[in-house]
Amino acid sequence: MTENTQTDSSNTNSAATPEPAAATPAPAPTPAAPSLEEQLAAAKKEAASGQERYLRAVADLENYRKRMLREKDELRQYAAASVVEDIIPIIDNLGLATVAAKQQTDIKAVVDGVGLVLEQFKSILTRHGLKEVNPVDQPFDHHLHESIAHQASATVPEEKVLQVVRLGYTLNGRLVRPASVIVSSGVAQAEQS
């Protein structure tokens, strides 16, 4: 039994001790850390690169700002060009109406001609976004109307527009000029009693 025990123990010892690895690679040598001078040079290079990018961005922003101001100024100068081009024929027609008025003896023909020119003018302005504000018999709206007087009326209810003295206008939904109106104050006090 002792032989078996020895054999068993020798088998266990040989299994427990690992065989040396044939060729285990040695750990790779770590690269040497850069010196302080190299680190400083790299940091200075990175700072110079960042400074250059910053200066370019500032210059680009300044150029963009100048270009936007120039384009805005050009837009303002030429914004009315299409309206002016449409108005020129009206000036021509008014000139013709003036010549015709001097030669005509029939005043009705002159009035009709000027009326046509007025309609042409209104049509052009409407095409460019101008709308009349004509609030007869509508409730008074202080956003669109300017009350120049109150007047008693038996037929028009109180706080409704009784008469339009001067038309108002809006341009693309924005008030250009309020309508000057006379507002009804309702039935006169003497009529109420």
Local structure of 30: helix, strand or coil? coil
- Kindly report the CATH number assigned to the domain that includes residue 148: 2.30.22.10
> Are 137 and 160 contacting, i.e. CB atoms less than 8 angstroms apart?
yes
For residue 155, what are the domain limits?
Answer: 129-193
CA-to-CA distance for 62 and 19, rounded, in angstroms? Answer: 74
- Segment 50-64 shows an average pLDDT of 96
**What is the chain's percent helix, strand, coil content, to nearest 5?**
55, 15, 30
In a domain, 154, yes or no: yes
Query: How sure is the predictor about 31, in pLDDT bands with cuts at 50, 70 and 90?
Result: low
- Segment 50-56 shows an average pLDDT of 96
In a domain, 156, yes or no: yes
- Kindly report, residue by residue over 133-183, the tens digit of the pLDDT: 999 989 999 999 999 999 998 898 899 999 999 999 999 999 999 999 999
In a domain, 95, yes or no: no
Tokens 């101008």 sit at which residue?
A: 130
pLDDT at res. 53: 96
In a domain, 137, yes or no: yes
Q: Which helix (H) or strand (E) holds 62?
A: helix 36-78
In a domain, 27, yes or no: no
With 70 as the cut, is the pLDDT of residue 4 above it? no
pLDDT at res. 169: 95
In a domain, 187, yes or no: yes
- Kindly report, residue by residue over 69-118, the tens digit of the pLDDT: 999 999 988 888 888 888 999 999 999 888 888 888 888 888 898 999 99
How far does Cα 141 stand from its chain's mean position?
28
Total tally of structural domains belonging to the chain: 1
In a domain, 8, yes or no: no
Residue partners of 188: CB distance under 8 A and separation at least 6: 152, 154
With 60 as the cut, is the pLDDT of residue 6 above it? no
In a domain, 40, yes or no: no
